[in-house]
Amino acid sequence: MRIGIMSFAHLHAYAYADVLNQLAGVEFAGIADEDAERGKAVASQLGTRYFNSFEELLKADIDGVIITAANADHRRLTEMAAAAGKHILCEKPIATTLEDGLAMEKVTREAGVKFQMAFPCRYVPAVQRLKAQYDDGLLGRVVLLRGTNHGKMPGGFFIDPEAAGGGAVVDHTVHLVDLVRWIFQTEIKEVYAEIDRRFHDIPTDDCGLLTLELTNGAFMTLDPSWSRPDDFYTWGDLYLKVVGTNMVTEVDMMRQSLERIGSQDPNYQWEFWGSNSDYGLVKEFVACIQEDRQPTITAQDGIKALEVALAAYESAKTGKPVKLDN
Amino acid sequence: MRVGIVGFGTMGTTHAASYQRIADCELVAIADIRPERRALAEEQHDVRSYATLRDMLSAEALDVIDVCVPTFLHREHVEIAAEAGKHVFCEKPLARSRAEGQAMVDACRKAGVILGVGHVVRFFPEYQRAKAVIESGQMGNVGTVYTYRGGGGFPTAWQDWYARYEWSGGLTLDLIIHDFDFLRWTLGEVERVFAKSTWGRENNRMEHVLVSLRFANGVIGNVEGTWLDLGTFGTKFEFACDEGLLTHDSHWSSALKSYQLQSAAHTGKPGVAVPESPMAIDPYTLELKHFIECAREGKEPMINGEEALRAVEIAVAAQESIKTGKPVRLERG
Ligand SMILES: NC(=O)c1ccc[n+]([C@@H]2O[C@H](COP(=O)([O-])OP(=O)(O)OC[C@H]3O[C@@H](n4cnc5c(N)ncnc54)[C@H](O)[C@@H]3O)[C@@H](O)[C@H]2O)c1
């Protein structure tokens, strides 16, 4: 099994590359990058081959690709990979517009290649325990949720409105929306949002608060802000509180950490010892190809999550809750 | 200053204990319609007791009336006290609506008496410290803010009045008004409110509310409150600023934790943890001490009727948003 990586614009590419190098029976076959300098440096650092263009990489003897380009480039690279008959693991959000997302769904379906969205949070063991609690009926009926996915301001293409399709709201809304849809088998039917740029001098939004109504009758607030300071003790958080009729459960993924207190700056850091969720994600992608089955995280999941983020921007612009058809 | 308390329930009991710790202040009498509460007050304190505020006023020479009856009775009692020319301390929330609150403010102004309201969170040291840090500018500008309050279970009270929405206003008016007042005190006026509650969808006794606030200065707020029983009552906040984070979690910062070993009593139930953070002077005593000083010297208290009315307006806007599903703009802002 040979897998390549298309673009290192998204930082998650490094984590996925690590997993490719760990997985038995998988060869990290090479990378191509629109930024040749970055691509060459990364290739030599990670001990893999650098291809001069995306076309060359796709002509090589590989089974699949991981697309970690800027959000706005996902569609073009997906179309290229599908035409070359390569299976695809695509970074979130799926695209910057619903039209692009739908086109990606269609082209991969018609080409008969597998398409998996990179929503690694589904592989967080605490999240899986929450899903099991729900599936086993321990939570009861879900009444309300509160989620936060805080982070630091990432820079790069993330703060280019064209390339990213927005800022913190499009970057961080999709993880929690995907988890909620997946765990509780529900859709989002209404979105209200306050969105602003209040932390950094950048061209995109960096904070917001979404208030959601779900088709299962529950409501939720979701904070996707890049509100952690640059020297915050970890990258951010993934937090989800669920109030059910029988139980209240809080998932706070980053709590599986040591507190490390030193004598030099930054003198307080968290040392995460929890499971690597990217490992589960990439392993599943490889297994889908090996066993010739459809990925569980589909283009449709990517489109649905993007739809909520785009509705949030519309709500913030109009000042009104936005209804979604489901 | 000679003080009479009307309503010797949970808060009346708390206030009575506080007056013992305030110099030049004497708790003279209490009024409560329940004979067992009157008996308890006489047993615990050196006071005379009466069935009603009017009875207490006609029998006693008092300077201050402390109103600790349930929320729906605040207006009636504040107005009786004001007409009798007494300074009034009223528990929060001041009133259930803007009109009700305005009438109380007007009655006290007309009678020329001082009105103070029990937004005691402003006297909690962790909240005071947070405000001071934010105002110092050390953290830069506030971008977003989150507050949490609750987890202690549904309140038990006389006639189960908290469970009757018309009487208590539910959790939005009763509980998280503390956070509305604190946030407004720290960040300024609120411009827009959008809120969701289990009220009207689920059993009222488990009310849980999530509020989205937009302040005039641009800050985006998320206020959470719950009457679910999560073991112990707790509070949290997080100010995310462009130069750092300021956070509080009462469970983390309790300086004393006691564990009831129910297993020792062979009940088979798990032990109950009771967290505390004792202070040299508790916040309730501090708030009443401040009010008594103001009443004595004829000064406006920090939380006068007008201040308290602003917090009621935010809570009422949240209630309206919960009912209509629409964002509500505050007229003033
Ligand atoms: N600041 C705080 O932290 C805080 C905490 C709890 C309650 N409160 C507020 O304090 C007020 C009282 O709440 P509580 O929990 O003490 O209620 P409670 O039911 O425990 O006490 C109310 C008391 O008033 C008495 N009463 C009722 N009608 C009366 C009347 N007409 N005349 C005389 N006595 C009468 C009742 O017998 C009862 O003893 C409410 O407005 C509540 O919102 C504030």
Rounded to two decimals, the ipTM of the complex is 0.86
Range(s) of the domain holding residue A142: 121-275+306-323
pLDDT band, residue A202 (cuts 50/70/90): very high
Which is it for strands A142-148 and A188-196: parallel, antiparallel or unpaired?
unpaired
> Do residues A223 and A147 make contact, with C-beta atoms less than 8 angstroms apart?
yes
List, for residues A274-303, the tens digit of each pLDDT value: 999 999 999 999 999 999 999 999 999 999
% residues pLDDT > 70 (chain B): 94
Residues A56 and A31 in one domain: yes
pLDDT band, residue B333 (cuts 50/70/90): very low
Query: Which pLDDT belongs to residue A242?
Result: 96
Q: Which domains does chain B have, with CATH numbers?
A: 2-118 (3.40.50.720), 121-277+303-329 (3.30.360.10)
Taking residues B211-224, what's their average pLDDT? 98
Residues A155 and A258 in one domain: yes
Six-digit token pair at B131? 């405000």
Residue B76 CA to ligand 1 centre (angstroms): 14
Point out the residue among A219, A228, A319 whose CB comes nearest to the CB of B245. Answer: A228
List, for residues B162-181, the tens digit of each pLDDT value: 999 999 999 999 999 999 99
> Do residues B17 and B38 make contact, with C-beta atoms less than 8 angstroms apart?
no
Which is it for strands B48-50 and B26-31: parallel, antiparallel or unpaired?
parallel
Residue A136 within any structural domain of the chain: yes
List, for residues A209-230, the tens digit of each pLDDT value: 999 999 999 999 999 999 999 9
Residue A260 CA to ligand 1 centre (angstroms): 47
**CATH classification of the domain holding A270:** 3.30.360.10
Write the DSSP assignment of A12-43 as a string of letters. Answer: HHHHHHHHHHHSTT-EEEEEE-SSHHHHHHHH
- Cα first-last separation, chain A: 38
CA atoms of A47 and B217, how far apart (whole Å) = 51
Inter-chain contacts counted by CB atoms under 8 A, chains A and B:
92
List, for residues B2-41, the tens digit of each pLDDT value: 999 999 999 999 999 999 999 999 999 999 999 999 999 9
Residues A269 and A203 in one domain: yes
pLDDT band, residue B306 (cuts 50/70/90): very high
* Chain A residues with beta carbon closer than 8 angstroms to that of B230: 248
Residue A262 has pLDDT above 90, yes or no: no
Q: Residue B196 forms beta bridges with which residues?
A: B210
Query: Which pLDDT belongs to residue B254?
Result: 84
Instruction: Tell me what the pLDDT averaged over chain B comes to.
Output: 94
| Alpha helices (H) along chain B | 10-19, 35-44, 53-59, 74-83, 98-111, 125-136, 165-168, 170-174, 177-187, 250-253, 283-297, 305-324
Residues A150 and A267 in one domain: yes
Residue A308 has pLDDT above 90, yes or no: yes
| Phi (first) and psi of residue A60, to 5 degrees | -70, 170
Residues A83 and A151 in one domain: no
Residues A107 and A136 in one domain: no
- SS3 label, residue B52: coil
- Domain final position from A58, A87, A113: A113
> Do residues B199 and B154 make contact, with C-beta atoms less than 8 angstroms apart?
no
Query: Which pLDDT belongs to residue B109?
Result: 98
Point out the residue among A146, A207, A213 whose CB comes nearest to the CB of B220. Answer: A207
Query: Which pLDDT belongs to residue B278?
Result: 82
Residue A289 within any structural domain of the chain: no
Six-digit token pair at B124? 């909690």
Residue A263 has pLDDT above 90, yes or no: no
Query: Which pLDDT belongs to residue B104?
Result: 98
Residues A9 and A32 in one domain: yes
List, for residues A98-110, the tens digit of each pLDDT value: 999 999 999 999 9
Instruction: Tell me what the pLDDT averaged over chain A comes to.
Output: 96
- For B46, counting Cβ atoms within 10 Å of its Cβ (0-12 exposed, 13-18 middle, 19+ buried), the class is exposed
Number of independent structural domains in chain A: 2
With CA atoms as reference, report the closest residue to A83 among A102, A104, A52, A53.
A104
- For A44, counting Cβ atoms within 10 Å of its Cβ (0-12 exposed, 13-18 middle, 19+ buried), the class is exposed
Higher pLDDT, A256 or B206: A256
Residues A81 and A172 in one domain: no
With CA atoms as reference, report the closest residue to A144 among A288, A21, A243, A255.
A243
**Which of B13, B34, B69 most suits a substitution to test ligand 1, by most atoms within 8 Å of the C-beta?**
B69
Identity at A295, one-letter amino acid code: P
- Domain final position from A113, A144, A166: A113
| Phi (first) and psi of residue B187, to 5 degrees | -115, -10
CA atoms of A161 and A145, how far apart (whole Å) = 29
Q: Residue A194 forms beta bridges with which residues?
A: A209
With a 6 A CB cut-off, is B308 part of the ligand 1 pocket?
no
Residues A167 and A312 in one domain: yes
Taking residues A25-40, what's their average pLDDT? 97
Residue B36 has, within 13 A of its CA and on its CB side, a CA count of 2
- Domain final position from A113, A139, A173: A113
Taking residues B46-71, what's their average pLDDT? 98
Residues A103 and A163 in one domain: no
Residues A197 and A242 in one domain: yes
> Do residues B189 and B216 make contact, with C-beta atoms less than 8 angstroms apart?
yes
The CA-atom distances, in angstroms, between B11 and each of A281, B18, B69, B333 are 54, 11, 8, 32
The CA-atom distances, in angstroms, between B290 and each of A18, A307, B6, B22, B300 are 62, 53, 19, 10, 10
Identity at A245, one-letter amino acid code: T
Looking at CA atoms only, how far is residue A289 from chain B in angstroms? 43
Residues A205 and A180 in one domain: yes
List, for residues A113-139, the tens digit of each pLDDT value: 999 999 999 999 999 999 999 999 999
The region of weakest confidence among B148-157, B222-231, B324-333 is B324-333
CA atoms of B298 and B87, how far apart (whole Å) = 9
* Chain A residues with beta carbon closer than 8 angstroms to that of B228: 243, 248
